[in-house]
């Protein structure tokens, strides 16, 4: 059974984003410039695709990942943290000058 | 643990006395041919990865500024779109000339904003910017439509027409070159653009616009800096663009394509890779120039400190030559000179940001936890005081198997994961055992084998007996989840045009239906 969790700091950021944007989700990135970070998007912006699986919820927010990506990573547990500095992508927390990271290991 | 020392030949950094680069305290957006302050009045510090220090402030824009940029682009699009191919080519050539005249200045600016060594920007990045502009200037002059004869009275005349205004979002790893890859075909095809640079590297593009101010008609190129979360979204989902082009990470790529689908516009995306670099037994058939080139080919994973979507981050070595080849390769890795990016002797500079550095470090940890063996590097190097806050990481070599996370996930740093293969079939299977398909390298003295491997590897760019070359006129883009579309080739003119068919009848008689 895959597990996802968030650090208390990440949970606070997630709750703030929920109050600001309404229904949000995490989509785990496959990589490139932002490295393999969890992307926080509005739920209506990127509806789950047929190949997305939900790993669980953190602070009430679903965490989705492409099934093939998850398999190729050998299905680790995810722990989502938040760090200073905005990553340069469309993830919503960037407006607050922070970025989510995945401490999966 | 390696140690970095600074040399006296280091070029003075932007803002210092005698630097080739002039530095202002504050930079606005470039909209409609003018420098325009951000609507909110907010600015953000921009740091250099060399030392982690702020050296300027840049406009911190909001969605309103994207609207201003789109206003300017729409105001310019009719005149630019109806300019003749010769006029557009002349502008692109004038842009290339202006960049070439300011080559050293732009090379230093790029190096300071991104951290890449000035040795690379002088020899590769900026000359390639010039080349891509000139290539598309030439390509557009040779463009033609087509005529189809349907019957003796009926003809279909096909014309290429501009899309109008396009949105372009570029990454931090080659700010000026990625800008050129996007701008050149868009302008050649008669479009105006709104460009959003990456947040870690917002500045070198503004130095470029200072150079191009007098050369490009107002409104044809507009540059807006700010947080991706807000203005990247505002641009990509905007109803006033006719196309979106994006280079970056995979989920954003999906989101971009989603916005494009909802607005019914085309999109092109380039999304990353885990490119295999395959070394066959015969590279060691002689201890000659070619072997030396192949050794360099391996070490090219350190080019641009590994922050390249096509980083040859998986090295596949024929079992039979593993020991002697790795001995030579590790010698060459140990000789990589890290240092101040503006020191012309520096071969590898710092990673672009603290966040990227943390990520690289955590992947090395993951690799070791999974059982990979550390053959070189793996740590932050010792730094002289001056570079103490910089984002440096040692060039690193891990050995393992292709199912490990460090072989499947894109690290985006100076880390190569090495494994062996038994024979050609095994090499091909391992090379293709990845979700990505952007680049690959094949090294062999056997031309037929090179051809078979090249046609068998599922990637859009297979470097054969070379790597990290990006000339214009060579198509570049991804298979599989590495993206959709091709850059650097005249086929891009089609990506940035639409086809108008005039179906003309010279027959005077009615059809007879009504």
Which pLDDT belongs to residue B423? Answer: 98
Looking at residue B487, the DSSP 8-state letter turns out to be B
Closest by CA position to B174, among listed B104, B123, B113, B221 = B113
Q: Quick check: B435 and A72 CB within 8 A?
A: yes
Which pLDDT belongs to residue A77? Answer: 87
Which pLDDT belongs to residue A105? Answer: 54
The answer on pLDDT for B53 being more than 80 is yes
Report pLDDT digits (tens) over B378-402. 999 998 888 989 999 999 999 999 9
Selecting from B199, B355, B408 the residue whose C-beta is nearest the C-beta of A72 gives B408
Which pLDDT belongs to residue A2? Answer: 59
B44 DSSP β-pair partners: B58
Task: Kindly state the helix (H) or strand (E) to which residue B165 belongs, with its residue range.
Answer: strand B165-169
Give CA–CA dist A44/B500, Å, rounded. Answer: 35
Closest by CA position to B142, among listed B92, B185, B192, B89 = B89
pLDDT confidence bin for A35, thresholds 50/70/90: low
Selecting from B230, B307, B408 the residue whose C-beta is nearest the C-beta of A95 gives B230
CATH of residue A44: 2.60.300
Q: Which residue has the higher pLDDT, A34 or B344?
A: B344
Report pLDDT digits (tens) over B102-160. 999 999 999 999 999 999 999 999 999 999 999 999 999 999 999 999 999 999 999 99
Q: Quick check: B255 and A41 CB within 8 A?
A: yes
Closest by CA position to B77, among listed B17, B135, B162, B185 = B162
Judge if ipTM > 0.90.
yes
Report pLDDT digits (tens) over B225-234. 999 999 999 9
Which pLDDT belongs to residue B2? Answer: 58
- Angle value at C-alpha B347, between B177 and B352, nearest 5 degrees: 55
Q: What is the mean pLDDT of residues B27-36?
A: 98
Assign B266 to helix, strand or coil: coil
Which pLDDT belongs to residue B467? Answer: 98
Percentage of residues in chain B having pLDDT higher than 70? 99
Q: What is the mean pLDDT of residues B17-31?
A: 97
CB atoms within 10 A of CB B242: 18
The answer on pLDDT for B439 being more than 80 is yes
pTM beyond 0.90, yes or no? yes
Chain A: residues touching B (Cβ < 8 Å): 27-37, 39, 41, 45-46, 49, 68-69, 72-74, 76, 83, 85-95, 99, 101, 103, 105
Q: What is the mean pLDDT of residues B312-334?
A: 98
Give the count of domains, chain A.
1
Dihedral angle sign, alpha carbons of residues B179, B185, B187, B193: negative
Assign B189 to helix, strand or coil: coil
Minimum Cα–Cα distance from B236: chain A residue = A90
Q: Domain of A13?
A: 4-102
């Amino acid at each position: 059974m895959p597990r996802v969790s968030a650090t208390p700091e990440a949970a606070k950021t997630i709750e703030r984003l929920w109050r600001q944007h309404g229904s949000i989700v995490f989509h785990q990135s496959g990589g490139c410039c932002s490295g393999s970070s969890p992307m926080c998007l509005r739920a209506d912006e990127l509806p789950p695709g047929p190949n997305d699986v939900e790993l669980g919820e953190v602070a009430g927010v679903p965490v989705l990942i492409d099934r093939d990506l998850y398999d190729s990573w050998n299905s680790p547990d995810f722990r989502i943290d938040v760090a200073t500095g905005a990553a340069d992508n469309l993830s919503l927390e960037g407006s607050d000058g922070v970025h989510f990271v995945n401490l999966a290991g | 643990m390696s140690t970095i020392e600074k040399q006296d030949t280091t070029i003075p950094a932007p803002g210092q006395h005698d630097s080739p680069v002039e530095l202002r305290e504050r930079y606005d957006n470039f909209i409609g041919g003018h420098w325009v302050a951000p609507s909110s009045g907010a600015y953000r510090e921009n740091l250099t990865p060399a030392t982690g220090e702020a050296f300027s402030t840049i406009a911190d824009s909001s969605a309103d500024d994207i609207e201003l940029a789109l206003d300017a682009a729409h105001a310019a699009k009719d005149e630019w779109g109806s300019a003749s191919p010769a006029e557009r080519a002349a502008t692109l050539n004038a842009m290339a000339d202006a960049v070439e005249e300011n080559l050293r200045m732009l090379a230093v600016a790029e190096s300071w904003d991104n951290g890449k060594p000035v040795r690379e920007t002088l020899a590769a990045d900026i000359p390639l910017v010039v080349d891509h502009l000139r290539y598309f200037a030439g390509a557009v002059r040779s463009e033609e439509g087509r005529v189809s004869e349907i019957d003796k009275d009926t003809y279909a005349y096909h014309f290429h027409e501009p899309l109008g205004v396009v949105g372009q979002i570029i990454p931090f790893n080659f700010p000026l070159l990625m800008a050129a890859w996007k701008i050149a075909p868009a302008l050649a095809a008669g479009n105006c653009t709104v460009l959003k640079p990456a947040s870690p590297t917002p500045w070198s593009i503004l130095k470029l616009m200072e150079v191009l101010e007098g050369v490009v008609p107002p409104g044809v190129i507009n540059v807006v800096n700010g947080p991706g979360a807000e203005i990247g979204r505002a641009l990509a989902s905007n109803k006033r663009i006719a196309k979106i082009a994006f280079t970056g990470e995979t989920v954003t790529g999906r989101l971009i394509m989603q916005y494009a689908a909802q607005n019914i516009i085309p999109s092109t995306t380039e999304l990353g890779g885990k490119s295999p670099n395959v070394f066959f037994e015969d590279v060691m058939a002689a201890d000659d120039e070619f072997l030396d080139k192949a050794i360099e080919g391996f070490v090219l994973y350190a080019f641009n400190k590994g922050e390249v979507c096509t980083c040859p981050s998986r090295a596949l070595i024929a079992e039979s030559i593993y020991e002697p080849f790795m001995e030579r390769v590790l010698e060459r890795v140990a000789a990589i000179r890290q240092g101040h990016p503006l020191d012309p002797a520096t071969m590898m500079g710092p990673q672009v940001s603290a966040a990227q550095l943390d990520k690289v470090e955590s992947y090395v940890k993951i690799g070791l936890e999974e059982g990979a063996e550390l053959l070189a590097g793996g740590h932050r190097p010792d730094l002289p005081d001056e570079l103490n806050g910089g984002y440096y990481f040692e060039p690193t070599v891990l050995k393992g198997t292709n199912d490990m996370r460090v072989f499947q996930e894109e690290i985006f740093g100076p880390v190569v994961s090495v494994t062996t293969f038994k024979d050609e079939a095994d090499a091909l299977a391992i090379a293709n055992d990845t979700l990505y398909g952007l680049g690959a390298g094949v090294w062999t003295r056997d031309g037929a084998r090179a051809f078979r491997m090249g046609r068998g590897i599922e990637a859009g760019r297979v470097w054969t007996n070379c790597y990290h070359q990006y000339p214009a006129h060579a198509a570049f883009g991804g298979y599989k989840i590495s993206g959709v579309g091709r850059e650097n080739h005249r086929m891009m003119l089609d990506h940035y045009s639409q086809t108008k068919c005039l179906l003309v009848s010279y027959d005077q008689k009615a059809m007879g239906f009504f």
